[in-house]
């Protein structure tokens, strides 16, 4: 078995939405009464996730991105998915701390809480070797992917902690935080140093959020959203485009499933949207006992 193969679970994989994570059926009502905050929600996976939470019965969804026109389109799709779900948006650049804080404060002012936060905004430029890379573009990957996720986490966490306590008192679950990682975080691909190292750092940030705030009730996950042919993903070399076969609804349904509380035991870990959730649940004891799906330095073969 190769070193790459040992980093992934031997589970059945999916590329389309399936019944186990369908927000319209299996997960219908799982987001009832909850307020969802999403960055990068103007299109692609972020838009699909917002729609999925509406289908799952979210009370309110607050979306942010840099394009007001696309945010308005997402809002329309949310209303079409569930007319009872309230939706507001704000134009926001996740690399600007003040803008992120303002949008989160506005969400709480308008809707009263944040029960789920999804740091979905990302950046991926054309790949190049480090010695030939564009310095500004290379570092901008970190600015958007890591700093942007940190800002969303930093300003949402006090509200998520309050949500976790509220739902815990009612015998339910809240306080979920989703960070968008990538299968690339586990790989070494020539020319992908900026994107893959920033996503690897996302996994570690997820672990630290769990370490610092797990006892506060926070459930943080770093997820691979699948190989979705988004505008962003198509910046990868053309040879990789054949692997972009997943629908954005797959990641959206997986995120709603995680935030339903069914995988709270796996908090602080890297998970893939492609993995079959029923088989994942069957591995619960092994994952916990062997401390799988975390970043560690191997010292034994």
Per-residue pLDDT of 101-144, as tens digits, reads 999 999 999 999 999 999 999 999 899 999 999 999 999 999 99
2 pLDDT band, cuts 50/70/90, is very low
pLDDT score, position 301: 67
Q: Which of 199, 219, 267, 270 is catalytic?
A: 199
Q: Catalytic site residue 195?
A: yes
171-186 per-position pLDDT tens digit: 899 999 999 999 999 9
- Confidence band for 7, pLDDT divided at 50, 70 and 90: low
Residue 3 has pLDDT above 50, yes or no: no
Tracing tokens 């570690």 back to the chain, one arrives at 204
Nearest to 53 by CA among 76, 40, 70, 36: 36
For 20-42, write each residue's pLDDT tens digit.
999 999 999 999 999 999 999 99
* Superfamily of 5-289 according to CATH: NAD(P)-binding Rossmann-like Domain (3.40.50.720)
**Whether residue 288 has pLDDT greater than 70:** yes
| pLDDT of 270 strictly over 60 | yes
Instruction: Report how far apart the first and last C-alpha atoms of the chain are (Å, whole number).
Output: 12
Concerning whether 199 is annotated as a catalytic residue, the answer is: yes
CB atoms < 10 A from the CB of 27, how many? 23
Torsion of CA 99, 105, 107, 109, to 10 degrees: -140
pLDDT value, residue 228: 84
Question: How many angstroms separate the CA atoms of 41 and 7, rounded?
Answer: 30
Q: Which two tokens stand for residue 247?
A: 């629908």
In sequence order, what are the residues at sequence separation of 6 or more whose Cβ sits closer than 8 angstroms to the Cβ of residue 253? 17, 18, 21, 22, 23, 27, 52
Secondary structure string (H, E, C) spanning the chain: CCCCHHHCCCCCECCCCCHHHCCCCCCCCCCECCEEEEECCCCHHHHHHHHHHHHCCECEEEEEECCHHHHHHHHHHHHHHCCCCEEEEEECCCCCHHHHHHHHHHHHHHHCCCCEEEECCCCCCCCCCHHHCCHHHHHHHHHHHHHHHHHHHHHHHHHHHHHHHHHHHCCCCCCEEEEECCHHHHCCCCCCHHHHHHHHHHHHHHHHHHHHHHHHCCEEEEEECCCCCCCCHHHCCHHHHHHCCCCHHHHHHHHHHHHHHHCHHHCCCEEECCECHHHHHHCHHHHHHCCCCCCCCCCCC
Identify the band that residue 86 occupies on the pLDDT scale cut at 50, 70 and 90: very high
Burial 232-257 (b: 16+ CB within 10 A, else e): bbeebeeeeeeeeebbbbbbbbbbbb
Whether the per-residue pLDDT at 291 is higher than 90: the answer is: yes
Which of 150, 195, 219, 270 is catalytic? The answer is 195
Question: Scanning the structure block, which residue is given the tokens 């394009």?
Answer: 67
> What is the pLDDT averaged over residues 251-266?
98
> According to the model, what pLDDT value does residue 150 have?
98
């Amino acid at each position: 078995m190769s070193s790459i193969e040992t980093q992934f679970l031997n589970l059945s994989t999916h590329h389309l939405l399936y019944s186990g994570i369908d927000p319209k059926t299996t997960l219908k009502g799982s987001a009832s009464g909850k307020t969802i905050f999403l960055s990068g929600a103007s299109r692609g996976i972020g838009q699909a996730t917002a729609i999925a939470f509406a289908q799952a019965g979210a009370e309110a969804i607050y979306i942010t991105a840099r394009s007001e026109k696309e945010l308005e389109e997402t809002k329309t799709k949310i209303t079409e998915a569930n007319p009872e779900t309230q939706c507001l948006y704000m134009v926001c650049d996740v690399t600007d701390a003040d803008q992120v804080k303002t949008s989160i404060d506005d969400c709480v002012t308008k809707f009263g809480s944040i029960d789920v936060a999804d740091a979905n905004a990302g950046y991926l430029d054309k790949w190049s070797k480090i010695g030939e890379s564009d310095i500004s573009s290379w570092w901008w990957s970190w600015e958007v992917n890591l700093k942007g996720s940190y800002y969303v986490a930093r300003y949402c966490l006090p509200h998520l902690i309050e949500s976790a306590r509220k739902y815990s008192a009612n015998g339910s679950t809240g306080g979920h935080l989703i960070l968008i990682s990538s299968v690339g975080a586990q790989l070494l691909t020539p020319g992908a140093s900026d994107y893959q190292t920033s996503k690897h750092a996302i996994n570690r940030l997820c672990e630290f959020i769990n370490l610092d705030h797990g006892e506060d009730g926070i459930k943080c996950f770093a997820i691979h959203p699948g190989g979705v042919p988004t505008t962003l993903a198509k910046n990868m070399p053309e040879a990789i485009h054949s692997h972009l076969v997943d629908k954005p609804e797959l990641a959206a349904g997986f995120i709603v499933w995680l935030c339903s509380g069914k995988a709270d035991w796996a908090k602080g870990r890297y998970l893939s949207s492609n993995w079959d959730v029923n088989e994942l649940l069957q591995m619960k004891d092994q994952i916990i006992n062997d401390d799988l799906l975390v970043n560690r330095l191997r010292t034994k073969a």
